[in-house]
Amino acid sequence: MSETSRSLNFIEHIIDEDLANGFPKEKLRFRFPPEPNGYLHIGHASSICLNFGLGLRYGAPVNLRFDDTNPAKEEQEFVDAIKKDVQWLGFEWDTECYASDYFQQLYDWAVMLIKEGKAYVDSQSSEEIAKQKGTPTEAGSNSPFRERSIEESLELFEAMKNGDFKEGQHVLRAKIDMSSSNMLMRDPILYRILHRAHHRTNTDWCIYPMYDWTHGESDYIEQVSHSLCTLEFAMHRELYDWFLNQVVVEGKVRPKQREFARRNLSHTVVSKRKLLQLVEKNVVSGWDDPRMPTISGMRRRGYTPESIRNFVDTIGIAKRENVVDVSLLEFCVREHLNKIAPRVMAVLDPVKLVITNYPEGEVEWLEAENNPEDESAGNRSVPFSRELYIEQDDFKEEANRKFFRLKLGGEVRLKNGYIIKAESCTKDIHGNITEIQCTYDPKSKSGSGTEESLRKVKGTLHWVSVAHAVPAEVRLYDRLFNDATPDAHKDQDFMDFVNPNSLEVIIGYVEPSLKEAKVGDIFQFQRLGYFNIEKDATPEKLIFNRTVGLRDTWGKIQEKE
């Protein structure tokens, strides 16, 4: 077996087998079919990458189809957000489709089923229908309206369409098998009455098709060859095929449904219903809150499409569901940002450092490398002066030999600058250090080639010149939940596991080159992590989101706890 064939996922094996058995390659067609009732999340990213990836692999078209059959929950806002997310991930669709485009055809087919004695109007309540469906171990019982005449069902169905009845008064059901071991085959509902305006068809329709009736028939109308769904639709495949059997004609492609496993992400939830709760209860600021697992939230946080696609490729396509640790996603983000993010200096928890033997009022511009991973990124100049900010954690009065940052009597190098030595410090009445006094070696400037500049010291600190420092709001995001599987506890609500420290807002200082940064620009704050310019930022107010830290600290915290 070749390396290429060994690397195929099971979906690709199915497609290759179909091609080997004579299916024409030019008739391959895939689709990504979201319902526009919310924003796409990381789980959808797997489906997007799978379907559009297959299109690229086989040179086949991929439709973007909105399964918009429930006007009570669907909005144009979600349609627009979905299109933006798919494009941002780097994919282009062949045809933009809507299930609502097929409402007339679906209705006509439903009328055909009634005429063939394969569908009937049921006038029971939803509670009565649920009760007579039986249980997984007990057969259901026939509806008292199952043998309603074809003429009466046709008349009632048209009246349903015309808006003559209230919601819940009637439904249209397929007549299949009330004793089937698959409860989905026990006379499933095809249409229900909804007096709601649709985001595309407005009030043209008073009845709307159910998802199971719409899904396969839409695939057939579009001539989709392989309809790929997540595992919860495995039991629906029998119904999918039964519906297709009623409409397929010779000479046209019959879609094939196949299922793959969801990949759940730790420390989050991906149920749209639960994500909506987070939004409605103001746990987050909206669907695109950077703590949300939505694609728009990850984009706002600074994740790149390349890193998400790499994550999806890494976890692969499987037949069994499992939980993927979010640290793998963060690794993929960190790996890509390391290649592309310019390095800059920022101090988020500042303490003033004064170089007592540096000339007062003097400013020196030092050369700094923008990205050691990218030679073409070039250099920039950063201002150096007598008074600097460094991080509070980078100084201790006394420390053991394993502390390689600044301590009294100790030396460190300032990044791109000089070697300094801590001589003394000043404290406030509470004992907090407010200023550190140091001396510097004028001959130790980085890159100067002097003997002093080549002297080795163990610590290197980042810094910002006080006189040139630009204040910035910095939003430090962490995991939204402090439990790996917050919605897997039978006796507790997932909201009980919301991390109260998932967002900390502070004021830090950044080097002056960042005054020109634009919304979405990504940087590595040296020794601190990756940050991007938040969409709420203005030229007058810099705001940064922490995208991801330089290292995975969460695992270490959990180990200690």
Q: Identify whether 262 is a catalytic site residue.
A: yes
Helix (H) or strand (E) holding 31: strand 30-32
Sheet of strand 464-465: strand arrangement: 460-461, 411-414, 419-427, 433-440, 350-355, 387-391, 464-465
CA dist., res. 180 & res. 504, Å (int): 55
Using CA of residue 241, residue 247, residue 250, residue 251, what is the dihedral sign? negative
Q: What is the DSSP string of 473-506?
A: EEEEE--SBSSSSTT--TTS-GGGGB-TTSEEEE
Task: Outline where 302-368 has alpha helix (H).
Answer: 305-315, 326-340
Question: Is residue 414 a contact partner of residue 463, using CB atoms and an 8 Å limit?
Answer: yes
CB 536 within 8 A of CB 468: no
343 tagged catalytic: no
Q: Which amino acid is at 149?
A: S
Q: Which residue has the tokens 């499992």?
A: 322
Backbone phi, psi, residue 23, to 5°: -70, 130
Beta bridge partners of 65: 97
Q: What do you get for the CA distance between the two ends of the chain, in Å?
A: 48
Q: Which of 12, 35, 75, 259 is catalytic?
A: 35
- Please tell me which residue in 254, 258, 262, 421 is annotated as part of the active site: 262
- Any idea which residue has 């394969």 for tokens? 118
Task: Name residue, tokens 């973007």.
Answer: 64
Q: Which of 408, 404, 418 has the alpha carbon at shortest distance from 458? A: 404
Instruction: Tell me, yes or no, if 272 is annotated catalytic.
Output: yes
Distance CA 230, CA 467 (A): 57
List the catalytic residue out of 29, 65, 200, 272.
272
CA distances from 152 to 143, 159, 393, 506 (A): 15, 11, 80, 69
| CB-CB neighbours of 407 under 10 Å | 18
404-407-410 Cα angle (round to 5): 80
* Residues designated catalytic: 35, 262, 272
